[in-house]
Structure 1
Amino acid sequence: MEDNSEELEALWDDGYETWSVEDFFKLAKGFSEPDGGPPRWFCPVSCGRALKDSPLLLYLPGLDGLGLGLISHEKALGKVFEVRCMHIPVQNRAPFEDLVQFVEETVRLEHASSPKKPIYLVGDSFGGCLAMSVAARNPTVDLVLILVNPATSFERSRLPTFLSLLETLPSALYGALSLVLLPAIRRLVDLLPKDTLIWRLKLLTSAAAYANSHIQDVAAEVLVLASSKDQFLPSKDEAKRLKKSLQNCRICIFKGNKHNLLLETDNNLLTIIKGSAKYRRTSYHDTIKDYIPPSMSEYRRQSEGHWLFRFATSPVMLSTLEDGEVVTGLGGFLVMVR
């Protein structure tokens, strides 16, 4: 791959929010069609070509299994990561152990080919349990885990009760659930058939139990992103628990956000990774070589959020006209030098 680092200049267009939540649901319909195939990786087209020597980023999805959770972030992440997203077909019934092996086979292969590069695992909800489990089984691989509202708190959530309800619910009433449930659960009901959702919830039961029982074996660098108003899982409390339980863990709490943090367009994942000094191309973070200049979306967000402060504190240019009048700008100076 040729060196295209000159393409990443200050205020580059990172394409953040090029795709929206509405686009997610449009694509999700096609991705939800049963195809009978096994779990697989796909590279989002919008990611484009990454800069030379970019590390690998593997996205591990939530219960929907679609792999579309990075849709708002793909173009930005694709500039500085080799992005691959995991897709679990709707009718696939692979046990949790098989999913762990599927991910770790890729991790080990990539580590063997580029042992000096870190591998990023972005685990979203269920994917957070999967990421932690892979890390626990591969402590010698340089992994950076980004856990987004990880479902390791499953037993302390409403989901076990929902699973019991779902198993006794007549199939004819399944579609009506989307009218009465929390938004995060409604999305799953809209995307997945009843039998698939029951299977995925049971899969999550195994995933959370496995991840929690091996938490002491996770030696990877971890960043937990938790929503303060997650109605799906007790994510804020879970982030604090993980910080105490994991060897090398930082947390970031997002006030006002709900469960689908990556689909809420006010949080740019690349900006979060940069801001937490988690981006690196080798075994350690190099402040100079790993620097990523600010993008246009970051500039716009900062400009919109601090315009009043800048207005109040920015310097003002004044000059005096020939008649002694003081004016804003350099008009008086220009008159004097003519």
Structure 2
Amino acid sequence: MTTRLDEKTVAELVADATAAPSMHNAQPWRFRFLTGEGVVQLHADPERAMPHSDPDDRALHIGCGAALFNLRVAAAHAGLVPETRLLPEPQDPLLLAAVRLAGPAGRPQEDDLARLYPAIRQRHTSRHPFADKDVPEDVRATLREAAAREGAGLHFPGVWHAETMLDLVRDAESRDVMDPDANEDLVRWTRLGPEADLAVDGVPEYAFGPRKRSGRAPVRDFAGRRRVADRGATAFEHTPHLALLSTVGDHPADWLRAGQALERVLLEATLADLATSLTSHALEDRELRLLARDPGSGTGQVQMVVRLGYGPRGAATPRRPVGDVLDVL
């Protein structure tokens, strides 16, 4: 049974969906609500793609997948049953998903999704140092299960593999130094000075976090060589806790699954009082991405590196008004 939804309810669901993380907070999504069908469509916004950093739109799909998961969580919280199809029209590659918002009659509600709802607004990317404290195994198990429920894997690398990942991040940073166009996307999506206070997208300077004086945490410096007022430097963790999110395949549907799995992991981590940050710096180059695989099995496609630990959750980054991303037909 399709439930007749008013525009206010749909707008609230989409507002929750857009709280998801995306590369450089570009928010590369658009939503369309088909009133008569009770369906919310998720479309990619190619104007917010990053041709240099994300030439195959992998990160764009992951960000949209994270927004899709938030939509499912918000729908479940509202007492609806989200029936989701990925890539429903192969002839339209920009139509990434269709979610029919059904009433609960005769259908099992996803109570476990609704449980995650409070974390949607609590989750923020943290570019601050984390405490030198281990993540308990039961929490790790919960996060692994969260990824698995969305068709992905979450691997906590051992010492040797973690060192390899940190080396790959440094390699990516070195490549950027040698490439004059490497920071084009980053500069486009960072907001400095008065622009930061008015921004509705991108990463504003108040969310950059401190400069890294020492330590090995993989935290991208969004300021680069540009001056940011009142920004200090501090020591980060020497041995950061990393988790690698992977999928079996490496195609648009896999990237959308990776985004949903990523957001489920991040929301579970938030409920467990963990702070998180993301890095895809070493994964933006396909050759480097192959080197990020689990050295034991050699299988899986690593889609995201998650840094997690106990520390500040970071500042909330701006979001575009719902009216800018939602069309009602």
Query: Normalized against structure 1, the TM-score is what?
Result: 0.27
Higher RCO (CA 8 Å, separation ≥ 6 residues): 2
The answer to which structure has the higher strand fraction is: 2
The answer to which structure has the higher helix fraction is: 1
